[in-house]
Amino acid sequence: MRLSVKNLDDQTSIDMETLYNMVDTFLERGFTYFDTPYMYHAFKSEIALREALVKRHDRNSFTVATKMPTMFLKKKEDQERIFSEQLDKCGVVLHTPKLILSSCSSIIWIGTMKASSRENVMKLPKSTGSRSLSWNL
């Protein structure tokens, strides 16, 4: 989700009133899937989603997805650290589904995943209670 901001020079100045209205209208019209990536709005989009959606609506009324940013996986421990951070920021126990985001070419992505252990990434849904894992290349 790219969000409205109060100051175009400050991507962290998210217009929360507009976001509250957007979330409420979206849910009122029967939609339930919310997707936000880790790095949008200077790493604040997941927090904004938590405030506008998770804290204000019944958890069974929506689905939250965020993305594992492979471009930030430099060492093996990064994936668990980032995943835990995402859960905290979103304010949920699990994400459904968990998306693996790579804005790089497939070759770079494969190299990154090898370096950070594809097997551990594939275990993420089971170890965290997520119901699915999706690839977003």
Confidence of residue 19 (pLDDT cuts 50, 70, 90): very high
Residue 124 has pLDDT above 60, yes or no: no
Q: What percent of the chain has pLDDT over 70?
A: 67
The CB-side HSE value for 9 (13 A sphere, CA atoms) comes to 0
pLDDT of 16: 97
Residues 40, 102: Cα–Cα separation, whole Å = 14
- pLDDT at residue 125 in the model: 46
CATH of domain 5-136: 3.20.20.100
* pTM recorded for the entire structure: 0.70
pLDDT at residue number 2: 77
- Tokens representing 132? 């699915």
* Total residues belonging to the chain: 137
Contact between 13 and 6 (Cβ < 8 Å): yes
Alpha helices in 2-105 (DSSP H): 16-28, 40-43, 45-49, 77-90
